[in-house]
Amino acid sequence: MKYLITIAYDGSKFFGFQRLNKGVSVQKELEDALTKINKKSVEIKGAGRTDRGVHAHGQKASFDLSIEIPSERLKNAINSLLSDYIYVKDCKTVADDFHARFNVKKKKYVYKINLGEYNPIIADYAFWCPYKLDISKMKKCGKLFLGVHDFRNFVSGERANYTAIIYDISFKKKKDILEIGFTGKSFYRYMVRNLVGAMIEVGRGKETLDKVKEMLKNKKNMSLFTSPACGLYLEDIEY
pLDDT tens by residue, the chain, 239 residues: 999 999 999 999 999 999 887 889 999 999 999 999 999 999 999 999 999 999 999 999 999 999 999 999 999 999 999 999 999 999 999 999 999 999 999 999 999 999 999 999 999 999 999 999 999 999 999 999 999 999 999 999 889 899 999 999 999 999 999 999 999 999 999 999 999 999 999 999 999 999 999 999 977 788 899 999 999 999 999 99
Please state whether the predicted TM-score (pTM) of the whole model is above 0.75: yes
Rounded Cα gap, residues 60 and 127, in angstroms: 25
Question: Can you give the pLDDT at residue 142?
Answer: 98
Strands (E) in the chain, as ranges, are 2-9, 45-46, 55-64, 86-93, 106-114, 127-128, 147-150, 163-174, 177-184, 232-238
CB 71 within 8 A of CB 91: yes
β-strand pairing of 106-114 with 127-128: parallel
Buried b / exposed e over 112-139, threshold 16 CB at 10 Å, is: bbbbeeeeeebebbbbbbeeebeeebbb
- Pick the catalytic residue from 10, 51, 64, 176: 51
Question: Can you give the pLDDT at residue 46?
Answer: 95
Rounded Cα gap, residues 77 and 71, in angstroms: 10
Question: Can you give the pLDDT at residue 23?
Answer: 84
Domains along the chain?
Answer: 2-93 (3.30.70.580), 106-238 (3.30.70.660)
Question: Can you give the pLDDT at residue 64?
Answer: 97
Question: Can you give the pLDDT at residue 1?
Answer: 94
Question: Can you give the pLDDT at residue 11?
Answer: 97
Question: Can you give the pLDDT at residue 158?
Answer: 87
CB 44 within 8 A of CB 31: yes
Rounded Cα gap, residues 70 and 123, in angstroms: 39
The answer to whether 51 is a known catalytic residue is: yes
